[in-house]
Structure 1
Amino acid sequence: MSRVSQHNEDASAAAWRVKHFRENRTLHIALVVFALFWLWMGYDPYRKFNWWLENLLTLLAAAGLIATGRWFVWSNTSYLLIIAFIALHTVGAHYSYNETPLDRWLNALFAFERNNYDRIVHCAFGLLIAYPVYELLRRVAGVRHGWSCVLVPCVILAFGAFYELIEMWVTFILDPERGALFLGSQGDPWDAHHDMEVALYGAIIAMLATALTRGKKHH
């Protein structure tokens, strides 16, 4: 790597307030807290089979972050947003996305016909993962701010669609008889569409917030 490119990379890392893992105490604390939380949620889950199925993607995501850490280090903002999303998913996995405490509270308050925690997590996917995708586009692909804000919702929508396909494939391969329970469609034929929809809305909100925040910094 040339001195110029190294300087540009270092300047980019500094602009995003990137810290390497050994020096990143904030990330150390966040990971310890999440690990304890994950172990707590792993104790006596609603359905053990579903717990492990739901956590396959969590384990793969963690492995991916660790494996790529030597070449790309996220900002703490992105790391904390990713951990927050995985924590929400972990709660859903504990209850197999079936009547979480939040669901019981919402159903009692609004008399919903279905449990909506899964929709909340899909929306949170767009809301919380949009910024890490934005950072990746800006730092790795060199996409300008404006275009990044436009492309991120498209990327989130694509990931949302891919996740629905993964759910279907995993269900058909491992447990087709109990597939409806794992998919959490709750008898809704438009479930996958609504899941992608709320993820898209979350990403749009996140990018609007990012654009407004960046605009204020430049005034």
Structure 2
Amino acid sequence: MRERAGKWLGKEQMFASNRPLHVMIIVYLVIWIWMAVSPYSRFDWVLENLLIWAALIVLVGTYKRFWISNLSYGLIGLFLVLHTVGAHYSYNENVVDVWMKLLFHSQRDNFDRLVHFSFGLLLAYPIREVMSACTTLSRRWLSVITCVIVLAMGAFYELIEMWVALLVAPEIGILFLGTQGDPWDTHHDMELALYGSIIAMCVTAFMQRIKQREAGCR
């Protein structure tokens, strides 16, 4: 516990010398500024960016409190990049959608589905890392609870989308929600986030076993 507390106390000093994190921040800022130019719908872009701004506030506000690795920051940053690109196009057709339509022989714009899947795939490990630092759960339960948290966050985000569409911009509700006429769209979004988190936890468990075997061989 003292060792972890020492890491927390020294985190401010470590940030100054954390070059990989500096590079991540600069790259993301460049992408964000690029995607802020001439979006598909400026009003929808602002609404979509509320998630980004909220996430950045949480990351900055909890930086000293939670000890997470650069790998986790990289995964979070990658997810924010995907969402930033989606916000620019209001999750309408882009290059990725064209490619996915050809791949899956579908007329639906599937980039939003890709982002929901990435939510679970990319954010599960950072969530697990925070849970590992703040709880005494076993590895198995860490993985289970992480998947539950991802599912709960996915469901809560769908509620936020509904509230924002109803209260702030009912006139662009369909565009903001992006259901594209699919009555099961919300369920599929949560489903994909859950599948992504399960895959992430399976990969994490596999990598941990490899490390244990390597440590045992030494």
TM-score tier after normalising by the smaller chain length: over 0.9
2:44 aligned with 1:40: no
* 1:8 Cα deviation from its structure 2 partner: 4.8
Deviations 1:124-179 (A, max 9, x none): 00000000010011011232211101111111000000000000001111111220
1:45-77 CA distances to partner (integer Å, 9 max, x unpaired)? 111111110000100110111111122232101
Q: 2:78 aligns with which of 84, 101, 110?
A: 84
Kept after mapping to 1: 8 A contact 2:67/2:130:
no
1:218 to 2:208 alignment: no
> Matched residues in 1 for 2:104 and 2:76: separation?
30
Q: 1:140 to 1:112 in 2, by over 3 A?
A: same
**Match of residue 173, structure 1, among 167, 172, 178:** 167
Q: Which 4+ runs in 1 deviate beyond 6 A?
A: none
Percent of residue pairs bearing the same amino acid type: 49
Map of 1:74-113 to 2, 5 A cutoff? 74-113=68-107
Give the structure 2 partner of residue 152 of structure 1. 146
- For 1:125 and 1:106, locate their aligned partners in 2 and report how far apart those are by CA, in whole Å: 18
Contact 2:66 2:133 in 1 (8 A): no
Contact 1:20 1:73 in 2 (8 A): no
Letter in 2 for 1:55: N
Residue 12 of structure 1: CA displacement?
A: 9.8
Q: Could you tell me which runs of 5 or more consecutive residues in structure 2 were left unpaired when the two chains were aligned.
A: 214-218
Corresponding residue for 2:64?
70
Q: Mark the runs of 5 or more structure 1 residues left unpaired by the alignment.
A: 14-18
Give the TM-score of the pair, scaled to structure 2.
0.92
Q: Identify the residue that residue 51 of structure 2 maps to in structure 1.
A: 57
Q: Kindly indicate whether residue 147 of structure 2 is the aligned counterpart of residue 133 of structure 1.
A: no
The match for 1:7 is 3
Contact 2:150 2:197 in 1 (8 A): yes
CA distance in 2, matches of 1:53, 1:119: 18
- Report if the CA contact (8 A) 1:122-1:198 is conserved: yes
Deviation at 1:111, TM superposition (A): 2.6
Secondary structure of the structure 1 residue equivalent to 2:181: coil
Give the Cα–Cα distance (whole angstroms) in 2 for the partners of residues 132 and 62 of structure 1.
Answer: 14
Give the paired residue count. Answer: 213
